[in-house]
Structure 1
Amino acid sequence: MDVTSELRGASRLAAVQALYQMELSGQGAGDVVMQFRNKAFGYDGEKGYKAADEEFFEELVRGVVREQNDIDAKIAVRLNQKWRLSRLDTTLRAIMRAAVFELAYRVDVPAKVVIDEYVTLSMSFYDGPEPKFVNASLDNLARDVRASEFSA
């Protein structure tokens, strides 16, 4: 894994954590982004320092907030009729929203990379069936929003 991939992976994890925090606390994106930039990321050599692509992190968080209605609609289409997005665990909702933002709005990142990254990330939070749910849902969503990458 190259440095850019590692930094983006850390940014994705931080974005999911930030989205989770925002949903539970009601804080806005600007406040949470600043908290992460000032406390979670910090500076090299600082205690608790995490290396991340801070611009990518901010784009994910602000992008999910900006496009949340569209993102939620895309997710809802792929949920079982008996399920609503609100029934998903808060962490799972954050994972799905961040992933769908990347699939729909960051076409510079290949769909298969996005899916793999978020399935792996979901394994950090869940030991049960959730990673399989993330994989299947994102695979279907990717075929909706990036059909050209799967047509070959």
Structure 2
Amino acid sequence: MRREARSFALQALYQWQLSGNTLNEIEAQFRTEQPMEQADLGLFAELLHGIPAKVGELDALLSPCLDRSLDDLDPIERNVLRMGAYELAHRLEVPYRVVINEYVNLAKTFGATDSHKYVNGVLDKLAKGQRRAEIEGR
């Protein structure tokens, strides 16, 4: 259910970025037009509304982990990285390995050919800062 929510949230954020429609309009459209019966709707809404609300914070977390500007990234990669950063920073109940795996898989599904490798490297660097205690087993 969470995997489905993440997938729909990525698509909704992409639509928001390109269309200029409001988040509420996009959420309503997805809830009525997409087969979301198997999705965790709470997570979908949290990601859809939480990421734009914290975009400055997320970009600041990601920037030191990147080898280029966020603006130079493909919109899918940018959204996948922001979503991963959001979960690493704000959903501490989700193990960091699960977060990285979920977003690498989304990059494989929706991103360019090798974008999943880039996403993996960036989120791994970010996790080392955001989840140090978890990684070290403390």
Fold match, TM over 0.5?
yes
Q: Which runs of 4+ in 1 moved over 6 A?
A: none
Q: In structure 2, what is the equivalent of residue 94 of structure 1?
A: 79
Q: Within 5 A, what are the aligned runs for 1:33-52?
A: 33-41=27-35, 51-52=38-39
1:135 partnered with 2:120? yes
> Residues 65, 126 of structure 1: CA spacing in aligned structure 2 closer, same or farther, 3 A cutoff?
closer
Aligned counterpart for 1:12 among listed residues 6, 10, 13: 6
Return the index of the structure with the highest Cα Rg. Answer: 1
SS at match of 2:94: coil
Q: Distance in 2 between matches of 1:108 and 1:30?
A: 27
Unaligned runs of 5+ in 1: 1-6, 43-49
What is the deviation of 1:110? 0.7
Once the two structures are superposed, the pairs formed by residues 2-151 of structure 1 within 5 Å of their partners are 7-41=1-35, 51-80=38-67, 83-126=68-111, 128-151=113-136
Name whichever of 9-18 and 121-130 sits farther off: 121-130
TM-score (norm 1): 0.85
Counterpart-to-counterpart distance in 1, 2:128 and 2:87: 13
Matched-pair contact (CA < 8 Å) for 1:61–1:98: no
Q: Distance in 2 between matches of 1:127 and 1:87?
A: 14
Q: Is the 8 A contact 1:103 1:111 kept in 2?
A: yes
The number of residues matched between the two structures is 137
- The code of the aligned residue for 1:139 comes to D
Which amino acid is 1:18 matched to? A
Task: Percent identity, please.
Answer: 37
